[in-house]
Amino acid sequence: MSGVKGLTFSNYDGTQWRDSWDSTTADPTSGLTNNLPRAIKVQIQLATRPSGGAATVAAPVELVVPIVVQARTNHTQQASGGGQ
């Protein structure tokens, strides 16, 4: 992509931002593995543009996307009670 100097991704585990994500690492809150991050942050550093004689450096574009997951199961519950 033209005009881009750098692109970085960070993952939020619920307590801190990390530069890499390993789904086999236990979640700090639940202790479970195979979890998604709570959010993903993308930073795009645009290339410098010459402005007259000096180059101007633009602030990075930052996008934070929350990951909302609801656990589902195929298990059904049997009704109890109502016995005679």
Tell which residue, 4, 84, 77, 13, has the closest CA to residue 45.
4
- Whole-structure pTM value: 0.66
Under 8 Å CB-to-CB from 69, ≥6 apart: which residues?
36
Residues 15-61 pLDDT 10s: 899 999 988 888 777 788 888 889 999 999 988 876 666 667 778 89
Beta strand pairing call for 39-46 and 61-66: antiparallel
DSSP one-letter string for 31-72 = --SSPPPSEEEEEEEEPPEEETTEEE-PPPEEEEEE------
Compute the distance between CA of residue 65 and CA of residue 42 in angstroms, rounded to an integer: 8
